[in-house]
A and B are shown apart, each in its own frame.
Chain A
């Protein structure tokens, strides 16, 4: 047992330093131009993104990833089949979080030190303090048991999936059912996703609110806004055009961190709501001591996060002319 533990631990860490993970070096916030260039060439990163992905996939299929002890299927297959469900949940949760968090943050910053500001700060901190798993259970108790209007768990009603099956295009039930005009399945998926998404969104909402607020406060203090006012620019133009563009960059960073936390929370939420995603898959793997799966998931999770950070970095470079890639 100890030998297996040792090997899996080493594999785990080794896999982290695997050549397919150089984006860690790339995305490092303190990276300088020459370092990045060197890394890119050395690691073949100057190839277009889909080519890199192909190489990565080739490695996967090449046998690094093994077969799941539990499902007896190649780990990659399992991962791919469960991935869309998790992504859908995570993205929905994020959308809810930023729809509430960012505008509130902007308002709180503009009306700093007023009642609205204090209230939003308390709200943000409360959102950050709620244990994700607990709020999930509470939501279940309240909406499913007491009110009975929303389903307890799962992604789609068994009956609905048989009578109105969703055609798989993207793997996202919400999008697919919309695309195919399958209204019944759409409303059902919506009912199923809303509670877990809210539970998931709680922490991220608090995070987005708080960070947007502090970013906006910083930006609103900046001297160039004083100049803009001195030249007679109207206040809402000052805020929305001049201030906001400067605030977007740090906000994107916030989104990156927030998304990272989302994946963590998604894990817990999936377990509670029996959501058929990677979280549940990994959970079962852990219970069954299914090592290849655990290692595989670890790498996938890291990969997703790095990819997200990469996208956000690119967005940042596009918006802020001072940033050099």
Chain B
């Protein structure tokens, strides 16, 4: 297997708040090869967005990356200067966000915004940049690209706004696209269209996509690999099919069981009991153990290490022996 394009190792991120230090990420490990769609799934607040922002080095001011390494093409991003990171952002690694209505600047046309990005990264003149902007809009299947360039964000529908964001992100042909809940703000039909388009682009360009979502359903339909996150840790990783058919971590089991299926009609929907833990005072041992139906004594004492059990699967659980 070739070296992964993007690799996160033992990432720990803390936030300073009035109530104390929130340990949002407590040792996150991820690997994404080129040309693959990796789904990072988990509850709200589990740290998925923080992970993405850390890769881009865009975490808010009160956050600190305490430990860990983030490798992009064999270079540790955490060692780079701000200027070097800036040149990477939007050019080699792009990120799109959840709600396009607040992510686009309301006082400029979408054309102006995408042209700005193209001019900065590709060092071309405005005319050429405009031409490339039109190409980018065609790529995301925006109707009438020339006209659309002159519109303001509030004049576009949510789906169109998101396409503009994707176009901006892909305009400089990056190697990695991080998509943070890209479809949560649009309705289901648009969601399906956007995801389909993303998959097509992924194949055509060998683009690596890190898809962040809370919906197991979306991940199941679109991703090659899946990583399950809980309270700042990646608890299970593996190829999509395998994890679906044979989930190993109790949390993954719980998530999958909670998806409504036709067979479960009339029966109560199983839930993972309990709520997410206090991230300021993390429970000792395995973070999930207070909610785990299979918890053993050792689970409350020692934090399980991520074990590689072959064929691309990893789990962090005491139940699973190598």
Chain A interfacial positions (CB closer than 8 Å to B):
222-224, 226-235, 237, 242, 245-246, 319-322
CB of B185 to closest CB in A, whole Å = 12
On whether the beta carbons of B89 and A321 are closer than 8 Å, the reply is no
On whether the beta carbons of B106 and A226 are closer than 8 Å, the reply is no
Q: Is the CB of B169 closer than 8 A to any CB of chain A?
A: yes
Partner of A227, one of B88, B104, B120, B154: B104
Which residues does chain B contribute within 8 Å of A319, judged by CB atoms? 107
Q: Which residue of B lies closest to A244 (CB)?
A: B107
A230 and B106 in contact, given A223-B97, A322-B152, A322-B154 (Cβ under 8 angstroms): no
On whether the beta carbons of B106 and A234 are closer than 8 Å, the reply is no
Between A and B, 19 residue pairs with Cβ closer than 8 Å are: A222-B102, A223-B103, A227-B104, A227-B105, A228-B105, A230-B94, A231-B89, A231-B90, A231-B117, A231-B169, A232-B87, A232-B88, A233-B86, A237-B116, A242-B105, A245-B105, A246-B105, A321-B106, A322-B152
Which residues does chain A contribute within 8 Å of B106, judged by CB atoms? 224, 246, 320-322
On whether the beta carbons of A232 and B121 are closer than 8 Å, the reply is yes
On whether the beta carbons of B58 and A226 are closer than 8 Å, the reply is yes
> Measured between alpha carbons, how far is A223 from B58 in the docked complex, in Å?
12
Q: Which residue of A lies closest to B104 (CB)?
A: A224
On whether the beta carbons of B105 and A230 are closer than 8 Å, the reply is no
Which residues does chain A contribute within 8 Å of B102, judged by CB atoms? 222-224
On whether the beta carbons of B107 and A321 are closer than 8 Å, the reply is yes
A233 and B58 in contact, given A242-B105, A246-B107, A321-B107 (Cβ under 8 angstroms): no
Q: Which of A223, A224, A228, A234 has the most CB of B within 10 A?
A: A224
Q: Is the CB of B28 closer than 8 A to any CB of chain A?
A: no
On whether the beta carbons of B103 and A227 are closer than 8 Å, the reply is yes
Q: How large is the interface on B (under 10, 10 to 19, 20 to 34, 35 or more residues)?
A: 20 to 34
> Measured between alpha carbons, how far is A44 from B49 in the docked complex, in Å?
56
Partner of B89, one of A229, A246, A322: A229
Which residues does chain B contribute within 8 Å of A322, judged by CB atoms? 106-107, 152, 154
Q: Which of A231, A234, A242, A319 has the most CB of B within 10 A?
A: A231
Q: Is the CB of B140 closer than 8 A to any CB of chain A?
A: no
> Measured between alpha carbons, how far is A146 from B154 in the docked complex, in Å?
60
> Measured between alpha carbons, how far is A276 from B81 in the docked complex, in Å?
61
Q: Which residue of A lies closest to B155 (CB)?
A: A321
Tell me the dominant secondary structure on chain A's binding face. Answer: helix
CB of A258 to closest CB in B, whole Å = 22
Q: Is the CB of B294 closer than 8 A to any CB of chain A?
A: no
Partner of A245, one of B95, B97, B108: B108
A232 and B107 in contact, given A222-B102, A223-B99, A322-B152 (Cβ under 8 angstroms): no
Which residues does chain B contribute within 8 Å of A237, judged by CB atoms? 116, 120
> Measured between alpha carbons, how far is A237 from B113 in the docked complex, in Å?
12
Q: Which of A230, A234, A320 has the most CB of B within 10 A?
A: A230
Q: Is the CB of B56 closer than 8 A to any CB of chain A?
A: yes
Q: Which residue of B lies closest to A249 (CB)?
A: B107
Please, what's the 1-or-0 string for B117-152, where 1 marks a CB less than 8 Å from any CB in chain A? 100110000000000000000000000000000001
On whether the beta carbons of B90 and A232 are closer than 8 Å, the reply is yes
On whether the beta carbons of A230 and B89 are closer than 8 Å, the reply is yes
Which residues does chain B contribute within 8 Å of A228, judged by CB atoms? 105
Q: Is the CB of B91 closer than 8 A to any CB of chain A?
A: yes
> Measured between alpha carbons, how far is A195 from B17 in the docked complex, in Å?
48
Which residues does chain A contribute within 8 Å of B108, judged by CB atoms? 242, 245
Q: Which residue of A lies closest to B117 (CB)?
A: A231
On whether the beta carbons of A231 and B94 are closer than 8 Å, the reply is yes
> Measured between alpha carbons, how far is A223 from B90 in the docked complex, in Å?
16
Q: 16 new A-B pairs (CB below 8 Å) besides A222-B102, A227-B103, A321-B152?
A: A224-B104, A226-B103, A227-B104, A227-B165, A229-B58, A229-B89, A230-B58, A231-B89, A231-B120, A232-B89, A233-B116, A233-B120, A234-B86, A242-B108, A245-B105, A246-B106
> Measured between alpha carbons, how far is A228 from B96 in the docked complex, in Å?
11
Which residues does chain A contribute within 8 Å of B121, judged by CB atoms? 232
Q: Which residue of B lies closest to A229 (CB)?
A: B58
CB of A240 to closest CB in B, whole Å = 13
Within 8 A of A (CB), among B265-298: none
Q: Is the CB of B168 closer than 8 A to any CB of chain A?
A: yes
Q: Which residue of B lies closest to A321 (CB)?
A: B152
> Measured between alpha carbons, how far is A268 from B97 in the docked complex, in Å?
54
On whether the beta carbons of A226 and B97 are closer than 8 Å, the reply is yes
Which residues does chain B contribute within 8 Å of A223, judged by CB atoms? 97, 99, 102-103
Which residues does chain A contribute within 8 Å of B86, judged by CB atoms? 229, 232-235
CB of B179 to closest CB in A, whole Å = 12
